[in-house]
Amino acid sequence: METQERATSTHILAIPFPLQGHMNPMVQLCNRLVPKGIHVTFVTTASICTSLQIQGGSNLMINVETVPDSAIDVVEDLDIYETFIRSFRAAISRGLPDIIMKKRNSSFPFKAVVYDSVIPWILDIVHENGLKGAVLFTQPCAVCSVFYHMHQGTLEIPPDEGSEISLPGMPVLRLKDLPSLVYDMSSYPTLLRLLVEQFSTFEKADWRLFNTFDRLEEEILKWMANKYPIRTIGPTVPSMYTDKRLLGNYDYGLSLFKPNTDSCMKWLDEKEDRSVIYVSFGSLADLADKQMKEVAWSLIDSKFSFLWVVRNTEESKLPKDFTSELHDNGLIVNWCSQLEVLSHRAVGCFLTHGGWNSTMEALSLGVPMVAMPLWVDQTTNAKLVADVWQIGVRVEADENGIVTREEIAARVKDVMQGERGLEIRRNAVKWKDMAIEAISEGGSSDKNFTEFAMELLST
Ligand code: UDP
């Protein structure tokens, strides 16, 4: 009875940063809160909301509120990051207090806000309005710790070309294993600032959640936990994909893209087990024309079947005669349900940019990776995948910064065939089991998550 009363009285706000890779873990976290009796209202701007495909909209425990904004588009063009970030901040800062106030005297006021770590300024608004704040980090703790050191001034930057970087709790890093924004500081100063500033209100947050799990990043998590109480709650991959017995209320989704799932699944159903390369560079990647062509011809040259997600904005970069070479061996789609694809028995490896969600999804589903990092955290994620967890390999670029078709095809073969491939597949199964253990009942992430939910219920 008591639990039921409490269950109907806790209502929280969730504020994801409006990029796909940030929305997914936030939505999945909230999907897990709902069965614990917590109602969730997502907040975004009106213009972002018009671009969203909302799945599971009949779920009465989750809904979306919007704040008015000036017309800003979904980010596809990196040049508009600065405008995008500023407009988002202005709109949320203006509108959030109103949303909180409207419910303040109702029987169902908001108690807390879960917000993305890259919008740390939310915490001041949250506290000024008498609520509690939980910050969600959507990159690995290893990457966050590099930005933490930058924030604290304990990492000399930019490091020298040939230097080896030793940070507490981390493997020794070469320059190009650091997040790209750190070794290439002039490339996207706005984004570098955004990531370093994640730590500006870190110590004031009421909860600090990380989308990772204890055994995955043991040393660095211990180091971080010695500084501040943190909670690992990952992987935030819906358990229906990792364990069919744990089916729950996990179907709510917010997507900036429309998937062609049916055609992918039908095509995959026709393929042999572990015979297909799944290729995706995520929601933001903007490959150079030449790089796109090298990827395209590497896939043909590799002789494996492949399913390649090429977003609309990237399509014009495909070689002219490429589609006529596909026959039934290759399928190009603009977007898919990646979790469904990665769960399919026909997928043998994932050629990925290595965004943290893609990495965690592949790891949780036991799919070996060929990491082709492009920027931000992907360079560090690739180091972890290839050298620390050994669940994939990393491609190397040539002296012009291009990853050649020969290099890609060779690394794909390393993973799909031979002794090395076998070893990588064994490791992938090992890490998949550890990920499932972490989120299953009584596992480290499950315990942390349950404690967090209980604390929200008693707030
Ligand atoms: N994704 C998807 N369908 C696609 C490609 C990607 O659903 O066709 C999802 C993927 O499952 C992941 C997210 O989009 O959850 C991409 O996030 P990630 O951190 O991997 O990369 P980003 O897009 O932030 O670079």
310, 358, 379, 381: residue to mutate for ligand 1 pocket, most atoms within 8 A of CB: 358
> Can you tell me the mean pLDDT for 230-246?
75
d(CA 102, CA 100): 6
What does the pLDDT read at residue 427? 98
Whole-number average pLDDT of the chain: 91
Q: How far is the CA of 238 from the CAs of 39, 141, 435, in angstroms?
A: 18, 20, 12
d(CA 122, CA 118): 10
Alpha carbon nearest to ligand 1 atom 15, residue:
357
The pLDDT tens digits for 397-424 are 999 999 999 999 999 999 999 999 999 9
The pLDDT tens digits for 104-122 are 988 889 999 999 999 999 9
Q: Tell me whether residue 327 is one of the annotated catalytic residues.
A: no
Question: Which tokens in the block code for residue 256?
Answer: 């900036």
Q: 320: how many CB neighbours lie within 10 A of its CB?
A: 7
CA–centroid distance, 62 to ligand 1, in Å, is: 22
> Which atom of ligand 1 is closest in space to residue 22's alpha carbon?
24
> Which atom of ligand 1 is closest in space to residue 19's alpha carbon?
24
Q: Please state whether beta strands 276-280 and 305-309 pair in parallel, antiparallel, or not at all (unpaired).
A: parallel
Secondary structure of the chain in HEC code, one letter for each residue: CHHHHHHCCCEEEEECCCCHHHHHHHHHHHHHHHHHCCEEEEEEEHHHHHHCEEECCCCCCEEEEEECCCCCCCCCCHHHHHHHHHHHHHHHHHHHHHHHHHHHCCCCCEEEEEEECCCCCHHHHHHHCCCEEEEEECCCHHHHHHHHHHHHCCCCCCCCCCCEECCCCCCCEEHHHCCHHHHCCCCCHHHHHHHHHHHCCHHHCCEEEECCCCCCCHHHHHHHHHHCCCEECCCCCCHHHHCHHHCCCCCCEEECCCCCHHHHHHHHHCCCCCCEEEEECCCCCCCCHHHHHHHHHHHHHHCCEEEEECCHHHHHHCCCCCHHHCCCCEEEECCCCHHHHHHCCCEEEEEECCCHHHHHHHHHCCCCEEECCCCCCHHHHHHHHHHHCCCEEECCCCCCCCCCHHHHHHHHHHHHCHHHHHHHHHHHHHHHHHHHHHHCCCCHHHHHHHHHHHHHHCC
Alpha carbon nearest to ligand 1 atom 13, residue:
21
What does the pLDDT read at residue 399? 94
Dihedrals phi, psi of 188, to nearest 5 degrees: -135, 75
Residue of 11, 22, 149, 344 with catalytic role: 22
What does the pLDDT read at residue 1? 37
The pLDDT tens digits for 358-390 are 999 999 999 999 999 999 999 999 999 999 999
Question: Is residue 397 classed exposed, middle or buried when 0-12, 13-18 and 19+ CB atoms within 10 A define those classes?
Answer: middle
Q: Structural domains in the chain? A: 2-253+439-457 (3.40.50.2000), 259-435 (3.40.50.2000)
> Which atom of ligand 1 is closest in space to residue 356's alpha carbon?
19
CA–centroid distance, 20 to ligand 1, in Å, is: 6
Q: Tell me whether residue 11 is one of the annotated catalytic residues.
A: no
User: Are the C-beta atoms of residues 220 and 141 closer than 8 Å to each other?
Assistant: yes
pLDDT at 237 over 80: yes
Question: What are the residues facing 13 on neighbouring strands?
Answer: 41, 113
Which residues form ligand 1's pocket by a CB distance below 6 Å? Answer: 20-21, 24, 280, 282-284, 309, 335-339, 355-358, 361
Alpha carbon nearest to ligand 1 atom 9, residue:
338
Taking alpha carbons only, the member of 341, 275, 340, 286 closest to residue 308 is 341
The pLDDT tens digits for 149-173 are 999 999 987 778 888 999 999 999 9
CA–centroid distance, 16 to ligand 1, in Å, is: 15
What does the pLDDT read at residue 72? 54
The lowest-confidence range among 37-46, 236-245, 322-331, 396-405 is 236-245
What's the complex ipTM? 1.00
User: Which amino acid makes up residue 323?
Assistant: T
The pLDDT tens digits for 1-46 are 334 444 456 999 999 999 999 999 999 999 999 989 999 999 999 9
Taking alpha carbons only, the member of 198, 204, 216 closest to residue 149 is 198
Q: Look up tokens 């179907």; give the residue.
A: 251
d(CA 121, CA 86): 12
Residue of 116, 206, 377, 414 with catalytic role: 116
What does the pLDDT read at residue 9? 67
CA–centroid distance, 249 to ligand 1, in Å, is: 21
CA–centroid distance, 396 to ligand 1, in Å, is: 22
Question: Which tokens in the block code for residue 147?
Answer: 């930005």
